[in-house]
Chain A
């Protein structure tokens, strides 16, 4: 799939915005995530709640208003039923998140902030994602994708 220049520009700009907010809130520091998951600080939970609290009602209203997106037609939200993979994969993700102290987007910010060990985290993420893809491509038809993943990725399968 070839993507337009507009898509690339928007992707870059929103990537910059996303990374900026993550770094501004210190989510790229191991200690921030560790203190959150140790239930010693609740800022990150509140941050996620604040993000959902703003985006959930806005997306709901935009969906009801049948909003059109700029680059990709009518706004379509997805609401998939729960599958076993969501729960099992989520649990594995949580274990890994706790051990490595960062999740996929903050890992990139961690490296950009000068923390060298983040190279190991990012390399490990690529390996883990690749392992799952290798497994699912061998057993075609068992691929599951969730509503958290990019839908153009889903469509290209």
Chain B
């Protein structure tokens, strides 16, 4: 077994700089930020065979999932088929029914996608790559989404 090569959670002081080096490396190869929003958009276009689709974004999109699977397989728990979203479903926690939790997740994801496209990036694109380029637009977007997310979570936790 490959299990337990990785700890359950790689500490931030290793994962953070590793991510930073990936961002710099990606810029040095492609002159592009290591974001995720654009990858969704171009993957949708590639799948629909629309003209102008940036095909290599689809490869990158698939790569993110593959890399995630690889890391999970190197942990003790490994790949576990489950529903996910334990905090929402757990009777000891928020105790939402599956349909209600599904609606919350779906609505949240739609709002998130719409907002990311409007803002021109997401947590990786603006939050790391844009801020690292010293972009005022990215710093503003990052402060805005961090504040909105913390405030929203505060209200979610009151329920």
Which A residues are within 8 Å of any B CB, using their own CB?
1-4, 7-26, 28, 30-32, 34, 37-39, 43-44, 46-56, 58-60, 62, 67, 69-83, 85-101, 103-105, 107-118, 120-133, 136, 144-153, 156
A7-B56, A53-B20 are known contacts; what are 6 more A-B pairs with Cβ within 8 Å?
A1-B53, A34-B153, A39-B150, A90-B119, A113-B72, A136-B117
Most buried by B among A47, A69, A78, A147: A147
B55 to chain A, nearest CB (A): 5
A64 to chain B, nearest CB (A): 12
Given known contacts A24-B15, A47-B19, A115 and B6 CB-to-CB distance under 8 angstroms: no
8 contacts between A and B (CB under 8 A): A16-B70, A88-B144, A93-B111, A96-B110, A114-B81, A124-B110, A129-B41, A150-B33
- Does more than half of chain B's interface fall in helix, strand or loop, or is it mixed? helix
Which B residues are within 8 Å of any A CB, using their own CB?
6, 8-13, 15-42, 44, 52-57, 59-72, 79-88, 101-102, 104-138, 140-154, 156-157
Residue of B nearest to A13 (CB): B63
Chain A residues, Cβ within 8 Å of B80: 113-114
Given known contacts A105-B64, A108-B64, A128 and B36 CB-to-CB distance under 8 angstroms: no
Given known contacts A10-B30, A97-B112, A148 and B130 CB-to-CB distance under 8 angstroms: yes
Give CA–CA (A72, B90) in the complex, Å. 48
Residue contact A46 to B16, C-beta cutoff 8 Å: yes
